[in-house]
């Protein structure tokens, strides 16, 4: 609202009058506006401190010796920064975190590829090809998005257990290769925003549907596909429930589950646990940082559509 | 598609050509959506039928299956813990979701005031919502520690003796709500986008009509944002009812089941006690509960969600 007020009071031809220094009501308005601005920044800044401070505390704790964690008042910058907490924690876990990272990276990369390939194919089918029952099937897909996964995961778990694939990565990977409704829906929206005239032109030149998909639509929707890749990365990296259920051998664990295990085993060493927490968050933060512009834009686009 | 066919010189070949094209499109369409069809047949339909079947029986994965009819559902009806988990989950959801909307909308409104360093503010508020899952649960486990945790240290500075948070039956669920609100920055981005999409002429017209800033907020900003609020409300209610990771890691349902959420109870029954029959019945109950609330919110939407350019009946 202040935006509008600014417009009303500062960008009007009234300003020259004020320069003559006669109109006190305008001066009062100006003072009010400055006070408003100061309040605004004060609220924004204190909110930002509240939001950021747990992360600062996490990094600070990860660099402390064990003895300083309980210290009151909080020691924000430890006198001797304990970088070795990171190395110690990384290697004290059995197997070391390198294994968990390799596992998580493997699963995450496989799932991103699978999800992108399958969702874009399915979304293309729904967005571009007119086939029997298409709209009904699409509605069905939207309806299944409301189904909580708890309803189906017990039979799915029993199925993987029966064919002996529990404690392998397959139960975590194969379902992702079969798409999910949310990503199909999002990609379909993007595909539909591209004119079908391109398809028609390509078809006159004798192109089949797959050529139109791979040569026209995919290159044109790269930013949207990037957004989905990033969301898939964050989701897979943070996923806790499925690895918790399917993986039980220590050497197979993902970072999320291993981190939890590490914390229960090392409950006396809070700095080490915080160090591994920081390390677990770094990939997500890094991807967020690199893709910030696109990521935020993408959410904004999908948000408006929703 | 029809225009495209008529453009073709060969379209004069008549209906045979047209119908063969249609047949090929049918085949191509199903080939393209086949990943979802496979998922629908196996991971959704078949799994739902089996899940329903399991909920009418007893099975622990190793010793076969015994049909028990509605026994699991009767047991649930008399199970004090089931009702407790429903109360805990509803308490969590119906405080966190509205509070989250108010906070994220508030931040978005502040940031929409032509402030400087928007990028910095946006990052600071948005960052916590990016880091989710186990890492956050571990971090907050320590932040909420009554003895040396950050939260009580902060409260002490302003002269308040903080409660025991996760160790107190009264304060355990509020602890989770505070932690959930920390992630409110994610929705803030959506509101910010919504705010920036409100056409300026609307405000200018209202100003000419003499509306003050409060009136403009109530009669323009809020109505124009209702589609975004509605979208968030629905997604967040569905998501909050399925809360699991934080409850499992930080309290595992304690103290005295004060944080036993529905999915956590279901997990205990299925994957700790191996009572898959009862766990499946709990899953169906959760599904029905989520459906009821989703339908209620959707119904209510007709009366308060404002769609610009929508012809209201």
Distance (Å, whole) CA A237 – CA A141: 25
Query: To 10 degrees, the CA torsion angle through A98, A99, A102, A105?
Result: -100
Q: CA-to-CA distance for B224 and B209, rounded, in angstroms?
A: 19
A-B interface: how many C-beta pairs under 8 angstroms?
260
Q: Residues of A with CB below 8 A from B268's CB?
A: none
Q: In angstroms, what separates the C-alpha of A155 from chain B's closest C-alpha? A: 6
In a domain, B67, yes or no: no
Residue B258: partners with Cβ closer than 8 Å, 6 or more residues away: B88, B169, B170, B172, B173, B251
H or E element in which residue A127 lies: helix A97-128
Q: What percent of chain B has pLDDT over 90?
A: 45
Output the pLDDT for position B173: 95
**In a shared domain, residues B247 and B109:** yes
Whether the bond into A73 is cis, omega within 30 of 0: yes
Q: Is residue B63 part of a domain?
A: no
SS3 B63: coil
Where does residue B55 rank: exposed (0-12), middle (13-18), buried (19+ CB within 10 A)? buried
Contact residues for B110 (Cβ-Cβ < 8 A; gap 6+): A40, A43, A44, A47
Closest to B100 (Cα-Cα) out of B72, B80, B128: B128
Residue B309: inside a domain, yes or no? no
Q: What is the pLDDT of residue A226?
A: 83
N- to C-terminal Cα separation, chain B? 34
Query: Is residue B61 in a domain?
Result: no
Q: Is the pLDDT of residue B69 over 80?
A: yes
Instruction: Kindly state whether residues B25 and B166 are assigned to the same domain.
Output: no
* Percent share of chain A, pLDDT over 90: 40
> Does any domain span residue B286?
yes
Q: Where are the alpha helices (DSSP H) in chain B?
A: 2-7, 15-38, 47-55, 71-77, 80-111, 118-130, 134-143, 150-157, 172-181, 185-196, 200-208, 213-216, 222-241, 245-250, 262-267, 276-304
User: How much is the pLDDT for B4?
Assistant: 44
A148-175 pLDDT per residue, tens = 888 899 999 989 998 999 999 999 999 9
Q: Are residues B174 and B97 in the same domain?
A: yes
Residues in A 200-229 with any Cβ partner in B closer than 8 A: 200, 203-204, 208-209, 213
> Do residues B221 and B206 make contact, with C-beta atoms less than 8 angstroms apart?
no
First to last CA, chain A: 25
CB-CB neighbors (< 8 A) of A61 in chain B = 142
What residues pair up with B58 in beta bridges, in sequence order?
Answer: B66
Contact yes or no for B185/B107 (Cβ under 8 A): yes
Question: Is the pLDDT assigned to residue A24 strictly greater than 60?
Answer: yes
Same domain flag for B13 and B143: no
Domain assignment of residue B128, yes or no:
yes
Residues B80 and B47 in one domain: no
Contacts of B110 in chain A (CB under 8 A): 40, 43-44, 47
Of A58, A144, A238, Cβ closest to residue B132 = A238
Asked if B44 lies within 8 A of A260 by C-beta distance, the reply is: no
d(CA B166, CA B252): 11
pLDDT at B194: 82
- pLDDT band of residue A121 (cuts 50, 70, 90) is very high
pLDDT at A140 over 70: yes
Domain shared by B295 and B196, yes or no? yes
The mean per-residue pLDDT over the stretch A97-125 comes to 95
Residue A4 has pLDDT above 60, yes or no: no
User: Which among B31, B35, B150 has the least Cβ separation from residue A57?
Assistant: B150
Claim to verify: residue B42 and residue B126 sit in the same structural domain: no
B-contacting residues in A 76-105 (Cβ below 8 Å): none
Give strand pairing partners of B59. B65
Give the lowest-confidence range in A197-206, B26-35, B244-253.
A197-206
Give residues 130 to 149 of A whose Cβ lies within 8 Å of B: 130-132, 134, 137, 140-141, 144, 146-149
What is the rounded average pLDDT for all residues in chain A?
Answer: 84
B203, A4: Cβ pair inside 8 Å? yes
- Same domain assignment for residues B145 and B272: yes
What is d(CA A280, CA A278) in angstroms, rounded to the nearest whole number? 5
Is the separation of the CB atoms in A217 and A124 below 8 Å?
yes
> Nearest CA to A29 among A54, A12, A46?
A12
Same domain assignment for residues B138 and B264: yes
- The answer as to whether B68 is a domain residue is no
Q: How many domains does chain B have?
A: 2
pLDDT bin (cut points 50, 70, 90) of residue A101 is very high
User: Domain extents for chain A?
Assistant: 2-62, 87-305
**B39 and B178 assigned to the same domain:** no
Structure confidence at residue B309 (pLDDT): 58
Among residues B45, B245, B38, which one has the least CA distance to residue A152?
A: B45
B85-126 residue pLDDT tens: 999 999 999 999 999 999 999 998 888 888 888 878 888 888
Distance CA B86, CA A80 (A): 48
Give the domain range for residue B143: 75-304
In A, which residues are within 8 Å of B207 by CB distance?
4, 8
A234 near B CB under 8 A: yes
Cβ atoms of A85 and A62 within 8 Å: the answer is yes
B66: which strand partners?
Answer: B58
CA distances from B214 to A5, B69, B211, B261 (A): 12, 59, 8, 40
pLDDT for A19 equals 54
Interface of B with A in 3-32 (CB under 8 A): 3-4, 7-8, 25-26, 28-32
Residue A138: burial class (beta carbons within 10 Å; 0-12, 13-18, 19+): buried
Closest-approach residue (CA) in chain B for A261: B249
Residue B224 has pLDDT above 60, yes or no: yes
- Amino acid B313: pLDDT: 38
pLDDT number for residue B131: 82
Domain of B278, CATH number, reads 1.10.3720.10
Q: Cα distance from B139 to chain A (closest Cα, Å)?
A: 7
Please, what CATH class does the domain formed by A87-305 belong to? mainly alpha
Whole-angstrom distance, CA of residue A22 vs CA of residue A14: 12
The Cα–Cα gap between A255 and B134 comes to 9
Q: What are phi and psi of B65, to 5 degrees?
A: -135, 135
Two tokens, residue B288: 């029905």
- Residue B76: CB atoms within 10 Å: 18
Does the pLDDT at position B6 exceed 50?
A: no
Ramachandran angles phi, psi of B133, nearest 5°: 85, -145
Sign of CA dihedral A42, A45, A50, A56: negative
What average pLDDT score do residues B24-33 get? 92
The DSSP code for B1 is -
Q: Is the CB of A3 inside 8 Å of chain B's CB atoms? A: yes
């Amino acid at each position: 609202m202040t935006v509008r007020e600014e417009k009303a009071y500062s960008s009007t031809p009234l300003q020259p009058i004020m320069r003559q220094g006669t109109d006190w009501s305008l001066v009062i308005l100006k003072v009010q506006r400055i006070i408003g601005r100061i309040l605004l920044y004060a609220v924004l800044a204190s909110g930002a401190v509240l939001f950021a401070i747990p992360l600062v505390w996490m990094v600070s704790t990860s660099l402390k010796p064990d003895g300083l964690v309980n210290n009151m008042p909080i020691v924000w910058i430890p006198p001797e920064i304990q970088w070795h907490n990171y190395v110690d924690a990384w290697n004290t876990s059995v197997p070391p975190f390198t294994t968990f990272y390799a596992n998580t990276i493997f699963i995450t990369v496989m799932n991103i590829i699978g999800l992108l390939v399958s969702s874009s194919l399915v979304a293309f089918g729904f967005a571009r090809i007119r086939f029997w029952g298409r709209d009904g099937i699409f509605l069905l897909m939207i309806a299944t998005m409301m189904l909580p996964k708890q309803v189906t995961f017990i039979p799915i778990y029993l199925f993987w257990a029966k064919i002996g694939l529990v404690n392998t990565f397959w139960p975590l990977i194969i379902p992702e290769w079969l798409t999910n409704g949310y990503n199909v829906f999002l990609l379909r929206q993007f595909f539909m925003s591209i004119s079908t005239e391109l398809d028609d032109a390509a078809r006159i030149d004798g192109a089949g549907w797959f050529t139109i998909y791979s040569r026209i639509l995919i290159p044109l929707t790269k930013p949207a596909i990037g957004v989905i890749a990033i969301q898939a990365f964050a989701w897979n990296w943070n996923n806790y429930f499925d690895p918790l259920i399917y993986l039980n051998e220590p050497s197979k664990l993902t970072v999320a589950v291993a981190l939890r295990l590490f914390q229960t085993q090392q409950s006396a060493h809070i700095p080490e646990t915080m160090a591994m927490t920081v390390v677990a968050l770094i990939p997500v933060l890094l991807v967020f940082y690199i893709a910030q512009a696109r990521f935020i834009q993408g959410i904004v686009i999908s948000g408006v559509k929703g | 598609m029809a225009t495209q066919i008529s453009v073709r010189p060969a379209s004069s070949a008549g209906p045979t050509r047209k119908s063969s094209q249609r047949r090929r499109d049918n085949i191509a369409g199903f080939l393209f959506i086949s990943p979802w069809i496979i998922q629908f047949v196996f991971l959704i339909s078949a799994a739902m039928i089996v899940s329903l079947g399991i909920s009418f029986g007893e099975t622990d994965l190793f010793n076969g299956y015994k049909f028990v009819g509605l026994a699991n559902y009767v047991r649930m009806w008399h199970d004090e813990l089931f009702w407790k988990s429903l109360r805990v989950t509803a308490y969590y959801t119906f405080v966190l979701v509205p509070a989250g909307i108010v906070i994220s909308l508030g931040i978005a409104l502040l940031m929409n005031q032509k402030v400087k360093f928007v990028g910095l503010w946006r990052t600071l508020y948005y960052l916590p919502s990016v880091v989710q899952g186990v890492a956050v649960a571990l971090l907050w486990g320590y932040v909420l520690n009554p003895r040396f945790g950050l939260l009580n240290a902060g409260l002490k500075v302003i002269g308040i003796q903080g409660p025991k948070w996760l160790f107190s039956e009264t304060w355990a669920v509020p602890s989770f709500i505070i932690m959930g609100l920390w992630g409110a920055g994610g929705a803030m981005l959506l509101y910010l986008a919504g705010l920036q999409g409100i056409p300026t002429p609307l405000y200018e017209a209202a100003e000419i009509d003499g509306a003050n800033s409060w009136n403009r907020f109530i009669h323009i900003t809020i109505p124009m944002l209702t589609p975004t609020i509605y979208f968030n409300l629905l997604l967040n209610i569905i998501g909050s009812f399925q809360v699991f990771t934080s409850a499992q890691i930080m309290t595992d349902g304690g103290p005295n089941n004060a944080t036993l959420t529905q999915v956590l109870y279901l997990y205990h029954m299925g994957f700790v006690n191996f009572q898959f029959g009862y766990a499946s019945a709990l899953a169906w109950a959760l599904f029905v509960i989520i459906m009821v609330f989703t339908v209620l919110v959707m119904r209510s939407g007709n009366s308060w969600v404002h769609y610009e350019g929508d012809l209201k009946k």
